[in-house]
Amino acid sequence: MNPRKRPLRLGLTGGIGSGKSTVGGMFAALGGSLIDADQLARDVTGPQGAAMNAIRATFGADFVDASGALDRARMRALVFSHPEARAQLEGIVHPLVTLHSNAKAQEAADQGHALIVFDIPLLAESGRWARRLDAVVVVDCSEETQIKRVMQRSGLAREVVQGIIASQASRTARRAVADAVIANDRDCSLEDLRLQTQQVATLFGL
- For the residues of 144-158, what is the DSSP string, one character each? HHHHHHHHHHH---H
Residue 139 counted as domain residue: yes
Q: Report, as an integer, the average pLDDT of 197-203.
A: 95
Identify the domain containing residue 152 by its residue range: 7-32+116-201
> What is the value of pTM for the model shown?
0.87
- Same domain, residue pair 78 and 128: no
Last residue of a domain, one of 112, 133, 164: 112
pLDDT band at 108 (very low <50, low <70, confident <90, very high): very high
Is 38 a member of any domain? no
Residues 96, 149, single domain; the answer is no
Shared domain for 122 and 171, answered yes or no, is yes
| pLDDT above 50: residue 201 | yes
Residue 178 maps to which CATH number?
A: 3.40.50.300
User: pLDDT digit string (tens) for 26-57?
Assistant: 999 999 999 999 999 999 999 999 999 999 99
What rounded mean pLDDT belongs to the chain?
Answer: 93
Distance of alpha carbon 29 from alpha carbon 54, whole angstroms: 37
Number of domains in the chain: 2
pLDDT digits (tens, 9 = 90+) for 155-195: 989 998 998 899 889 999 999 999 999 999 988 999 999 99
Q: In the predicted model, is pLDDT for residue 3 greater than 60?
A: no
Same structural domain, 107 and 125: no
Q: d(Cα 115, Cα 34) in Å, to the nearest integer? A: 9
What would the mean pLDDT of 67-79 be, rounded to a whole number? Answer: 94
Residue 4: pLDDT band by 50, 70, 90 thresholds? Answer: low
Q: How confident is the model at residue 126 (pLDDT cuts 50, 70, 90)?
A: confident
Distances (CA, A) of 69 to 46, 65, 75, 91: 4, 5, 11, 18
84-92 mean pLDDT: 94
> Which residues 6+ apart lie within 8 Å of 105 measured at CB?
9, 33, 35, 116, 118
